[in-house]
Amino acid sequence: MLRPSGRGGLLALFWHVFQLPPLVAEAFTAAYRRVVPDSPVTFEPDKQGVDAYQPLLTRAADGMHEVGGFSTPEQLRFDWTQPYTRDELFDLMLTQGLLTRLEPDEQAAMLDGVGPAVDKAGGSVTMSGTTVAVVAVRTRRAAATAVTPAE
C-alpha cells in the first residue's frame, strides 16, 4: 500500500502466467484460430509462459522509473504447479485474458475444442504457472503527470 503522505509503501504489479500442458496448449491454439480467425493475437504453444510477458514486465518497470519517486523496480518470480480437473480448468480458462471478451457461444466452442485434449490426458491436467511481479519502494511522492483530454 502506498501511503498518502508521499513516503513509504511498496508498489507491486503482478500477473499469473499459466502454461498449459503441450497437448492442451495445441488444442487451445487450434480452437482459438478456428473460433476467432481474424484476431490480431496469435498463440504459439511452444512460446507460452513468462517469456511472452517480458515486454509487459519491462514496460511496467520503465513506467515506474519514468514517473519517479520509486526505487529501482525489481522483477520477482514464483513458480508453481497445480492439478486441475476438466471442470476446474474450464472455470479458470473462462476468467483469463481474451476468453473473457468472447461471446458465450464462442467460449463454448473454445471449451469444446480443448475438452478432447483434457479427456485424452485422463480428465485432468497439472498446469505449471508462474506469478511474476514488478515491485518498487516509494521513496518520495511521484511527480504528477499532466493528462491532456483527447479531442
**Is residue 70 in a domain?**
yes
- State the pLDDT at residue 118: 97
**Is residue 146 in a domain?**
no
**Is residue 143 in a domain?**
no
**Is residue 107 in a domain?**
yes
- For 28, the domain range is 10-137
**Is residue 1 in a domain?**
no
> What's the domain count of the chain?
1
Label residue 32 exposed, middle or buried (CB < 10 Å: 0-12, 13-18, 19+): buried
- Specify the residue for cell string 504489479: 13
- State the pLDDT at residue 96: 83
**Is residue 142 in a domain?**
no
Length of the chain measured in residues: 151
**43: nearest Cα among 55, 21, 25, 17:** 25
pLDDT digits (tens, 9 = 90+) for 132-144: 999 999 887 655 5
- State the pLDDT at residue 149: 46
Q: What is the pTM of this model?
A: 0.70
Average pLDDT score over residue span 104-108: 97
**Is residue 55 in a domain?**
yes
Residue 21 and residue 86 in contact, taking contact as beta carbons nearer than 8 Å: no
- State the pLDDT at residue 43: 67
**Is residue 151 in a domain?**
no
- State the pLDDT at residue 147: 42
| 113 pLDDT tier (thresholds 50, 70, 90) | very high
To 10 degrees, what angle do helices 104-120 and 22-35 make? 150
